[in-house]
Amino acid sequence: GANSHAQLGLGFSTEQCELPQPLTGVPFRGEEIECVAAGGGHTLVGTIDGKLYACGWNNRGQLGLGHMNDCVRFEPVGEFGFQRLYAGWDLSAGINATGELFIWGSNVWQQIGESGVKSIHTPTRLNLPEGGRVVKVCFGLQYMAVLMESGKVWVSGKCKYLNDYPLEASSKLTIRCLWDKNSIRDVVSGDNHLVLLTGDRRIECLGDTKHGQCLNSGISEDVVKLESGWTHSACFTVNGTVYIWGRNNYGQLGRPGPPSCSLAKKLQLETDEMKLKDVSLGSQHGAALTSDGLVYCWGWNEHGNCGTDGTENVFYDGT
């Protein structure tokens, strides 16, 4: 994929790497990795012994190293015990074993801190208006959404499509609660839309739907996971099926067709017998892992992010 900020941790920067590259000379082994997150130009790795490593773009302190210099190799950040990591365009977050939320990086839109602070250069605990454990974080272009163990979702930063939700007056943060959305099981964000999985496993969407990224039909199967790129989204069901919708100008939906679709359609691979184990969406491309260990990629491939040894976009049509 893209490596213009040395975010692949290979020790050098280059426009792109068109094939998956082995990482060598890193301060951790593959079997020691607990969690990974990839942002706009930086990469985070957390290990099972609680250590955090980072490399790549650091113009806003998103590596958490206390400075704003890019790093071409993975550098140790500290020992925080993170079990989950999240990376946005130029900001980062981590959740530890007790459900505490730490943030660092850009705060231009007050998405991770109080107004007046442009950036936070080291992992810093964020105190939310609601107590309790944080279970997930996702980033939009100018905001952060936080899912609590209680099922409540808090959104901080600039998010015009949520202006009907009042800001929390008791907090110094620019933050609001989606008070009418209860028992949320999962949340993901595109650049300017949110997808919510409710307690009864229905999907609700909020925000920009210019490219059909806000679903207008239901899913007949039990949904267990949500995913989102900038302007396309997907869900993974208990049966191992992926349904995908939204923008399709680069083949983001894994099939040729119109430039957008607001109907959730099944992701087609080579045969119907292939069983999927997981799915992940990048900004404008996707990747799926099959039960037998194969990885399929599709969509935008300008920087080799589909790993196909080329830069042509991948329109996969199931044939």
Hey, how many other C-beta atoms are within 10 angstroms of the C-beta on 58?
A: 24
Domain 181-318, CATH among 2.130.10.30, 3.20.20.10, 2.60.40.1730, 3.40.50.1000: 2.130.10.30
What residues contact 35, with CB distance under 8 A and at least 6 apart?
45, 46, 82, 83, 84, 85
Domain 1-133, CATH among 3.90.380.10, 2.130.10.30, 2.70.150.10, 3.40.225.10: 2.130.10.30
| Cross-strand partners of 71 | 56
User: Are residues 249 and 212 in contact, defined by beta-carbon separation less than 8 angstroms?
Assistant: no
Residue 101, amino acid = L
User: Are residues 21 and 2 in contact, defined by beta-carbon separation less than 8 angstroms?
Assistant: no
Per-residue pLDDT in tens (0 to 9) along the chain, 319 residues: 999 999 999 999 999 999 999 999 999 999 999 999 999 999 999 999 999 999 999 999 999 999 999 999 999 999 999 999 999 999 999 999 999 999 999 999 999 988 889 999 999 999 999 999 999 999 999 999 999 999 999 999 999 999 999 999 999 999 999 999 989 999 999 999 999 999 888 899 999 999 999 987 778 899 999 999 999 999 999 989 999 999 999 999 998 889 999 999 999 876 677 789 999 999 999 999 998 899 999 999 999 999 999 999 998 754 3
What is the pLDDT at residue 119?
Answer: 97
Measuring CA to CA, which residue among 149, 66, 146 is closest to residue 101? 146
| Cross-strand partners of 88 | none
Hey, how many other C-beta atoms are within 10 angstroms of the C-beta on 301?
A: 23
What is the pLDDT at residue 256?
Answer: 87
Residue 85: burial class (beta carbons within 10 Å; 0-12, 13-18, 19+)? buried
Question: pTM to 2 decimals?
Answer: 0.95
Residue 104: burial class (beta carbons within 10 Å; 0-12, 13-18, 19+)? buried
Measuring CA to CA, which residue among 1, 5, 2 is closest to residue 73? 5
Q: What is the domain partition of the chain in residue ranges?
A: 1-133, 181-318
What is the pLDDT at residue 317?
Answer: 52
Q: How far is CA 181 from CA 9, 164, 166, 193, 206, in A?
A: 40, 13, 14, 15, 11
Q: How many Å apart are CA 111 and CA 173, to the nearest integer?
A: 8
Q: How many Å apart are CA 241 and CA 220, to the nearest integer?
A: 11
Q: Find how far residue 255's CA is from the centre of its chain.
A: 22
Matching fold, domains 1-133 and 181-318: yes
Q: How many Å apart are CA 219 and CA 217, to the nearest integer?
A: 7
User: Are residues 269 and 281 in contact, defined by beta-carbon separation less than 8 angstroms?
Assistant: no
Return the sign of the alpha-carbon dihedral for residues 279, 291, 294, 267.
Answer: negative
